[in-house]
């Protein structure tokens, strides 16, 4: 695969072609995921739960994210690397600048921040300084204590309207990408149409421009109950490389996510 850039993702959106995203936290998975034709690798702070056994993403540090981003960058074969900024590492614009710089120097091509309109200042600053950003909206796991659990967001008309406005506002502030987690499919579709930047979904229906899953979930390796939006691609394939390819194909041909993976 040729090197994937932000331009590749925008071109996908314009052509109506779907792109695939998976997490990877180490060189081995980064190699396998990028070789399978998956456009974007997410070095997610979900590594706190998946690798460290924590019960939320809050304990993950910038040092953890730097270590895993460096490992992923060494194994990567041409995918775009997006790294999560962990809890409180972008609480002020100064913190955001210093910590995003560390992730970019570790090998990220873009950083992801969780929030809504309050992210505008940090996104504007990072973008002006040459760091592309993805705004992660909807279910934002770093605010699990405020949300009172991992719950679908944007179900009432007021919060849905607010989410659409905030998505447009963050695009205007300079966001290069959006990620929508656990929102009703119709709302995700409306947001995807309302912005020109590519939109990645997880538990957000089939209308977003890209789809993401945690790689351990789609390989059936997660010991706990997995969320509704997860499909085990290992079940019908039997080996890791085939499962990764089957996921890439299913995202591109629109067969994943299906109705059963989607919130109404």
Ligand X SMILES: CC(C)C(=O)C(=O)O
To ligand MHF, the closest distance from the beta carbon of 166 in angstroms equals 20
Whether the Cβ atoms of residue 207 and residue 189 lie closer than 8 Å to each other: yes
In angstroms, the CA 200 to CA 209 distance is 6
Q: How far is CA 37 from the centre of its chain?
A: 17
Binding-site member from 10, 227, 232, 237 for ligand MHF (CB under 6 A): 227
Quick note: the x/- pattern for ligand MHF over 35-74, rule CB under 6 A, is -----------x--xx------x-----------------
Binding-site member from 84, 116, 190, 209 for Mg ion (CB under 5 A): 84
> Is 181 a catalytic site residue?
yes
Largest CA distance in the chain: 48
Query: Interface residues for ligand X in 23-42 (CB under 6 A)?
Result: 23, 42
Quick note: the x/- pattern for ligand MHF over 69-88, rule CB under 6 A, is --------------------
Q: Is 150 in the site for ligand MHF (CB under 6 A)?
A: yes
Q: What is the DSSP letter of 100?
A: H
To ligand X, the closest distance from the beta carbon of 243 in angstroms equals 18
In angstroms, the CA 87 to CA 235 distance is 34
Stretch that binds Mg ion, among 14-22, 38-46, 218-226, 240-248 (CB under 5 A): 38-46
Q: What is the DSSP letter of 238?
A: -
DSSP-assigned beta bridge partners for residue 20? 211
To ligand MHF, the closest distance from the beta carbon of 14 in angstroms equals 28
Q: Is 84 in the site for ligand X (CB under 6 A)?
A: yes
Element (H, E) at 22: strand 19-23
Element (H, E) at 35: helix 27-35
Handedness of CA 40, 107, 241, 222 (dihedral sign): negative
Q: Is 198 in the site for ligand X (CB under 6 A)?
A: no
- Strand (E) positions, 88-176? 110-114, 133-138
Whether the Cβ atoms of residue 206 and residue 189 lie closer than 8 Å to each other: no
Binding-site member from 217, 234, 250, 257 for ligand MHF (CB under 6 A): 217
Q: Among all residues, which ones are annotated catalytic?
A: 181
Q: Which residues bind ligand X (CB under 6 A)?
A: 23, 42, 44-46, 84, 136, 179, 181, 202, 212, 214
Q: Which residues are annotated as a binding site for 3-methyl-2-oxobutanoate?
A: 45-46, 84, 112
Q: Which residues bind Mg ion (CB under 5 A)?
A: 44-45, 84
């Amino acid at each position: 695969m040729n090197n994937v850039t932000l331009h590749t993702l925008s071109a996908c959106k314009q052509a109506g072609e779907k792109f695939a995203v998976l997490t990877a936290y180490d060189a081995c998975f980064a190699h396998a995921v990028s070789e399978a034709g998956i456009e974007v690798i997410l070095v997610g702070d979900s590594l706190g739960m998946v690798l460290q056994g924590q019960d939320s993403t809050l304990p993950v540090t910038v040092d953890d994210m730097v270590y895993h981003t460096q490992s992923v960058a060494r194994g990567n074969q041409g995918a775009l690397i997006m790294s999560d900024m962990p809890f409180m590492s972008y609480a002020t614009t100064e913190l955001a600048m210093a910590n995003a710089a560390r992730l970019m120097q570790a090998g990220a091509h873009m950083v992801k921040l969780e929030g809504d309109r309050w992210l505008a200042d940090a996104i504007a600053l990072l973008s002006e300084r040459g760091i592309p950003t993805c705004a992660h909206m909807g279910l934002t796991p770093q605010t699990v204590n405020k949300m009172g659990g991992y719950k679908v967001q944007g179900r009432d008309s007021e919060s849905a309207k607010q989410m659409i406005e905030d998505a447009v506002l963050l695009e205007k502030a300079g966001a290069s990408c959006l990620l929508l987690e656990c929102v009703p499919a119709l709302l995700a579709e409306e947001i995807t149409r309302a912005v020109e930047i590519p939109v990645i979904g997880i538990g957000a229906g089939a209308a977003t421009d890209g789809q993401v899953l945690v790689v351990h979930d789609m390989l059936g390796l997660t010991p706990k109950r997995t969320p509704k939006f997860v499909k085990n691609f290992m079940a019908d394939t039997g080996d890791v490389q085939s499962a990764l390819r089957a996921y890439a194909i299913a995202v591109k041909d629109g067969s994943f996510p299906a109705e059963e993976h989607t919130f109404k």
